[in-house]
């Protein structure tokens, strides 16, 4: 049986140019099967050498073989909606996989408790992962008295880590999503040298980063579009904050109520 294009792509990490090609193929499978490599490059908005490298990456012996594959696939493939719907469908599959993973919640609850006990709690993320780190830090700060979000690198990061450790930090939460920045691995190494335990939140349970982490939480990252979708990672992040709230108990509830009182007095939010 011929492997689907989605299955072929799932085994490779694509560059932004290659993702544009994949996105065009997903949206126009029948048209693409009739195009030359130059035409495909033009329609996808990439260079012709990018198409050649894309075809080689997938294991085809030249563009002619790849076009035959596209023709066979287009003839057999059922209609599955447009490329945006296909991307959402893929995210739903990743969320379902995360749901199964969280069926045993003991580990997540244990990690939530360890984050509550670290005062201050350090949260770290570089490049694209900085957004996830900031989101987690914002939520965690509602139930934890001292959350420090770090997005620097190099010696500045080392300064902040050492200071947090002197202040009592015991755990650092590191967000590291593809493409993995070198700074993320450096951060894990620095944390270990300081005696900080690290909780790595990433896209897969085993990678170049995981040997340097004490704990790994993973959720799939989507590569159907030009840029990654972090829907499942976001859901995992919120679940970890929920585990922290469970561990903090009455203290978390008190902090949440205090914030709501403050928000009401300052009229921070528009009425529903």
Centroid of chain to Cα 53: 26
Contact 188, 209 (CB under 8 A): yes
- CATH number for the domain whose boundaries are 5-79: 1.10.10.10
Q: How high is the pLDDT of residue 176? A: 97
Examine the pLDDT at 80 and tell me if it is beyond 70.
no
Contact 209, 202 (CB under 8 A): yes
Examine the pLDDT at 177 and tell me if it is beyond 60.
yes
Tell me the backbone φ, ψ of residue 138, rounded to 5 degrees: -60, -45
Contact 178, 12 (CB under 8 A): no
In the chain, list all ranges with CATH 1.10.10.10. Answer: 5-79
Mean pLDDT of 89-110: 92
Mean pLDDT of 152-167: 90
Q: How confident is the model at residue 78 (pLDDT cuts 50, 70, 90)?
A: low
Both tokens of residue 128?
């694209």
Proportion of the chain above pLDDT 70, given as a percent:
96
Between helix 16-27 and helix 48-57 the angle, nearest 10°, is 80
Q: How high is the pLDDT of residue 117? A: 96
Q: How high is the pLDDT of residue 1? A: 42
Mean pLDDT of 190-194: 94
User: Mind giving me the DSSP string for 86-148?
Assistant: HHHHHHHHHHHHHHHHTTS-HHHHHHHHHHHHSSSEEEEE-TTHHHHHHHHHHHHTTTSS-EE
Rounded to 5°, the CA angle 119-249-109 comes to 75
* pTM score: 0.76
Tell me what the pLDDT averaged over the chain comes to. 90
- Cβ-in-10-Å burial (0-12, 13-18, 19+) of 193 comes to exposed
In the chain, list all ranges with CATH 3.40.50.10490. Answer: 89-266
Q: How high is the pLDDT of residue 134? A: 97
Q: How high is the pLDDT of residue 124? A: 97
Mean pLDDT of 78-93: 79
Contact 255, 143 (CB under 8 A): yes
Residues 6+ apart with CB under 8 A from 132: 125, 175, 177, 201, 230, 233, 234, 237
Proportion of the chain above pLDDT 90, given as a percent:
68
Mean pLDDT of 62-79: 78
Specify the fold of 89-266.
Answer: Rossmann fold (3.40.50)
Q: How high is the pLDDT of residue 217? A: 97
């Amino acid at each position: 049986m011929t492997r689907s294009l989605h299955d072929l792509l799932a085994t490779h990490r694509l560059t932004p140019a290659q993702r544009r090609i994949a996105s065009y193929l997903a949206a126009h499978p029948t048209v693409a099967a009739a195009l030359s490599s130059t035409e495909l490059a033009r329609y996808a908005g990439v260079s012709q050498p990018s198409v050649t490298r894309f075809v080689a990456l997938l294991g085809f012996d030249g563009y002619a073989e790849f076009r035959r594959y596209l023709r066979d696939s287009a003839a057999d493939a059922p209609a599955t909606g447009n490329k945006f719907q296909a991307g959402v469908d893929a995210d739903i599959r990743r969320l379902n996989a995360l749901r199964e993973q969280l069926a045993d919640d003991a580990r997540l609850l244990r990690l939530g408790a360890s984050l509550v006990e670290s005062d201050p709690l350090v949260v770290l993320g570089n490049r694209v992962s900085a957004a996830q780190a900031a989101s987690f830090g914002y939520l965690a700060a509602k139930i934890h008295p001292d959350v420090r979000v770090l997005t620097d690198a190099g010696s500045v990061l080392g300064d902040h880590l050492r200071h947090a450790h002197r202040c009592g930090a015991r755990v650092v939460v590191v967000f590291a999503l593809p493409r993995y920045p070198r700074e993320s691995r450096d951060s894990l190494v620095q944390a270990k040298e300081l005696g900080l335990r690290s909780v790595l939140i990433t896209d897969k349970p085993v990678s170049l980063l995981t040997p340097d982490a004490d704990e790994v939480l993973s959720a799939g990252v989507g590569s159907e579009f030009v840029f990654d979708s972090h829907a499942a990672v976001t859901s995992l992040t919120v679940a970890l904050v929920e585990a922290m709230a469970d561990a903090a108990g009455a203290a978390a509830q008190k902090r949440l109520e205090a914030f709501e009182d403050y928000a009401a007095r300052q009229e921070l939010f528009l009425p529903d």
